[in-house]
């Protein structure tokens, strides 16, 4: 029963995100192009599904699984950000990083490293998974 509820929340957020993005995209550009809103809708579906799933796992007392899911999501998002910044540095674009507003990209990198370390510590301190 729990996974069905999680899927319903995911579909609700995905459909809402797709519709709102499609309408705002139409008002901004005057074109009805469903490709961009589909990406936003898929992202909101995934966020709604995973958010509902982790909430249910926390309520059931399975904190370790919920923290692990959150850690995986943070790793996927942050590795792309860190890899992009390292690519700019290794290709010689570090001068443009320091002179432009791109220096603000280091703030989310430090925040993501902090979140990753914090989630690893929470997983290590959480109760063992009951089997």
Q: Do 99 and 51 have their domain in common?
A: no
Those residues whose C-beta lies under 8 Å from the C-beta of residue 20, and which sit 6 or more positions away, are: none
* Count of domains for the chain: 2
Q: Given 60, 85, 103, which residue is the final one in a domain?
A: 60
**Range of 111's domain?**
62-131
Q: Do 66 and 129 have their domain in common?
A: yes
pLDDT means per 10 residues, the chain with 131 residues, are 73 75 74 74 78 80 79 78 77 65 68 80 69 45
In this prediction, residue 99 carries a pLDDT of 60
Q: Do 52 and 93 have their domain in common?
A: no
pTM of the model as a whole: 0.56
Q: Do 73 and 28 have their domain in common?
A: no
Q: Do 37 and 79 have their domain in common?
A: no
In this prediction, residue 98 carries a pLDDT of 59
Q: Do 53 and 82 have their domain in common?
A: no
Residue 46 sits at φ, ψ, to 5 deg, of: -65, -40
Helix (H) or strand (E) run with residue 1 in it: none
In this prediction, residue 131 carries a pLDDT of 45
In this prediction, residue 24 carries a pLDDT of 75
CA distance 2 to 9: 11
Q: Do 9 and 73 have their domain in common?
A: no
CA distance 129 to 4: 22
Q: Do 130 and 104 have their domain in common?
A: yes
Q: Do 46 and 67 have their domain in common?
A: no
């Amino acid at each position: 029963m729990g996974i069905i509820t999680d899927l319903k929340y995911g579909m609700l957020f995905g459909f809402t995100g797709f519709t709102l993005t499609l309408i705002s995209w139409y008002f901004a550009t005057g074109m009805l192009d469903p490709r961009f809103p589909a990406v936003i809708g898929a992202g909101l579906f995934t966020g709604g599904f995973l958010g509902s799933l982790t909430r249910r796992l926390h309520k059931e007392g399975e904190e370790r699984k919920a923290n692990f899911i959150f850690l995986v999501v943070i790793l996927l998002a942050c590795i792309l950000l860190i890899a992009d910044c390292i690519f700019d540095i290794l290709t010689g674009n570090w001068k443009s990083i320091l002179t432009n507003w791109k220096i603000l990209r280091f703030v989310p990198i430090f925040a993501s490293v902090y979140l990753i370390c914090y989630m690893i510590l929470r997983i290590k301190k959480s109760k063992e998974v009951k089997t």
